[in-house]
Structures are given as C-alpha cells and as structure tokens.
C-alpha cells in the first residue's frame, strides 16, 4: 500500500474552494440586479436555478468521485490516524460549510421566491396599469376620432355659418334698402299728410272764408236791398219833391247824376243843387253861369230856401 500525505488532498481542497467561490458567485448573481425589471429578474432566477442545478450536479459528481477516492484510499492507502482525523475534521468542516452554503442558497432562493412573488404582484399591477392605460389610450383614440369628427362637423358648421352670414348680410342689405325705401315712403307719406293737412286747413279756411264771404254777401245783399229800397224811396221822394216844386214854382228839374239835380230857372241862369240823400240836406248850390245880379241872387235865395224847405 502506497502512503499519501495531506498534499495529495489539495485537488479536493481546490474543488471545495471552487465550489465555495461558485456559491459566492451564485449568491452575488442572485442578489444583484434586483431593482431591474420583472422579466430580467425572472430570467436571472431561471438562470440561477439552472446554474445551481448544474453546480449541484457537479458537486454530486465530485462527491461521488470523492467517495470513490475514499473507498480506494481506504482500500489501498494506509493513512495515519491523526491525518485521517484531521482530514475527517476538514471534511466535516467543509461539509458544514457546504450545509451553510446550501442553507444560504435555500434562504436566498426563498427570498428570491418572495421577491419573485412581489415582482409578480408588481408585474400584475403593472399589467393592470398597462391595461388601464391601454383602455385610456383606446378611450383617448376614440376621443381623438370623435374630436376629429367634431372638428370636421365644426368646420362644416363654420362653412354653413359663413354661408348663412353671407345670406344674412345680403338680406340685411336688402332690408336696409327696404328700410330706406320705407323711410322715404314714410317721409313722402308724412309730406303728403302734411300737404293733406295743409289742404284740409286751406279747405277749412276756404270754408270759413266762404262762410264769411257768404255772410258778407248776405250782408251786401241786405245792404244792396236796403240801398235799392232807399234808392227807390229816394227816387220816389225826388219825383215827389220835383213834382211839388214844379207844381209850386213851375221850375223844371232834371237829374244829372245820382246826387245832382238841375232846376232850370226862367232866366238865362241854372241852379245846380247837390243833395245828401243820407242826411236829406242840400250840400251845395251853384249858379251857372256864376255871374248874376244881386236881385237875381235874392230871387235865387228865395227859391233856394223854398227848395231846401221842401227838401226838409
């Protein structure tokens, strides 16, 4: 039997150190990047599981090889009891380290599962938020479509309003023209009404003037009738006076005008007497020719007095 020392266990020690380093790397890989996205963490968990499974298989393979080596060692190699105990202590320590690493891996896996569940919840919340956002996006799209339709309708309404405004402007211009014509007609009507009022006033004044003229005409007719009556009365009176004078003095009388009578004296002179018919008096008496003798004047005076007496 060949004797081996502790240096021959170096490969096993290196394997255990590599396993420890791999476990440390695994812990580092599993714990880093937890703040990343849910999909990345899920991928990391999946990769960590695969890595752990691979390393576990490698560890089992190494353990199997180690057991085989131990069996071969116990069968063919004689080891010092102290070295054997030392090797067993180191192996037990390493197993304890491996157990601790397994426990740490289990704890990390549990934490990762909890974090995965938390991430799943967050992912669900994010999915719910995404669905809500998609619903809002759909509502926004529908609102945008409705807004576009409303804008098109508003544009159509604006065009129709502009068309109606143009028509209203035309109607307004026509209405203004009609109002101007109506105002002109109103002014013409007011002018005609004023003229009609003037005509009515003129007619009323004419009626009043006609009534006044009729009254004046009636008064004139009355005066004319009175004048005619007076003239007839005077004519009769003059005829009566003339006949009396002719019968008393034998003087012939002739009427020259309305107020003048000529009494022909039995001489070469003529006596012209002007009588006021209204007063019944002699206004003047002249001889023609004016030259006459005093005795003739006395005779004329006597005759004149006789005529005035008769007139009175």
79 or 15, greater pLDDT? 15
Structural domain contains residue 207: no
Per-residue pLDDT tens digits for 136-146: 767 777 887 88
Domain that holds residue 268: 251-311
Cα–Cα distance, 167 to 68 (Å, whole number): 109
The residue among 116, 145, 174 that closes a domain is 145
Q: Please report the pLDDT score of residue 1 as a whole number.
A: 41
Structural domain contains residue 153: no
Asked if 280 and 311 touch (Cβ cutoff 8 Å), the reply is: yes
Q: Does the pLDDT of residue 251 top 50, yes or no?
A: yes
Query: How is residue 256 annotated by DSSP?
Result: -
How confident is the model over 156-184, as a mean pLDDT? 84
Compute how many other C-beta atoms are within 10 angstroms of the C-beta atom of residue 117: 10
The residue among 94, 118, 145 that closes a domain is 145
Burial annotation 53-87 (CB, 10 A radius, 16+ → b, else e): eebeeebeebeeebeebeeebeeeeebeeeeeeeb
84 or 208, greater pLDDT? 208
Q: Please report the pLDDT score of residue 306 as a whole number.
A: 58
94 or 27, greater pLDDT? 94
Asked if 77 and 3 touch (Cβ cutoff 8 Å), the reply is: yes
pLDDT band at 4 (very low <50, low <70, confident <90, very high): very low
Element (H, E) at 312: none
Number of domains the chain is built from = 2
Structural domain contains residue 161: no
Structural domain contains residue 210: no
SS3 for 282-298 is EEEEEEECCCCCHHHHH
Per-residue pLDDT tens digits for 178-237: 778 878 888 887 887 788 788 788 778 878 887 887 887 788 788 878 777 777 776 776
Query: How is residue 254 annotated by DSSP?
Result: E
Residues 6+ apart with CB under 8 A from 42: 116, 119
Q: Does the pLDDT of residue 37 top 60, yes or no?
A: no
**Alpha-carbon separation of residue 117 from 38, 62, 137 (angstroms):** 10, 34, 29
Residues 6+ apart with CB under 8 A from 101: 19, 20, 23
137 or 246, greater pLDDT? 137
Q: Please report the pLDDT score of residue 3 as a whole number.
A: 46
């Amino acid at each position: 039997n060949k004797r081996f020392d502790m240096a021959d266990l170096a490969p096993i020690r290196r394997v255990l150190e590599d396993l420890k380093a791999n476990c440390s790397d695994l812990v580092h890989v599993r714990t880093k990047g937890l703040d990343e996205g849910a999909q990345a963490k899920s991928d990391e968990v999946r990769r960590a599981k695969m890595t752990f499974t691979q390393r576990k298989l490698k560890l089992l393979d190494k353990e199997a090889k180690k057991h085989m080596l131990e069996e071969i060692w116990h069968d063919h190699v004689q080891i010092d009891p102290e070295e054997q105990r030392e090797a067993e202590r180191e192996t037990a320590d390493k197993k304890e380290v491996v157990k601790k690493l397994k426990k740490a891996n289990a704890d990390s896996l549990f934490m990762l599962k909890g974090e995965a569940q938390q991430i799943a919840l967050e992912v669900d919340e994010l999915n719910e938020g995404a669905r809500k956002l998609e619903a809002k996006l759909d509502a926004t799209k529908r609102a945008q479509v409705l807004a576009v339709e409303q804008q098109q309708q508003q544009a159509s309404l604006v065009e129709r309003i502009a068309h109606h405004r143009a028509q209203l402007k035309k109607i307004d211009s026509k209405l203004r023209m009609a109002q101007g014509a109506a105002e002109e007609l109103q002014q013409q009507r007011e002018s005609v009404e004023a003229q009609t009022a003037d005509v009515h006033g003129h007619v009323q004044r004419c009626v009043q003037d006609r009534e006044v003229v009729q009254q004046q005409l009636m008064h004139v007719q009355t005066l004319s009738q009175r004048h005619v009556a007076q003239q007839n009365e005077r004519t009769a009176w003059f005829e009566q006076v003339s006949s009396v004078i002719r019968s008393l003095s034998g003087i012939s009388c002739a009427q020259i005008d309305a107020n003048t009578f000529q009494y022909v004296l039995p001489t070469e002179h003529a006596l012209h007497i002007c009588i006021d018919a209204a007063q019944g008096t002699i206004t003047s008496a002249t001889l023609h020719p004016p030259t006459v003798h005093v005795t003739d004047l006395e005779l004329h005076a006597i005759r004149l007095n006789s005529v005035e007496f008769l007139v009175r």
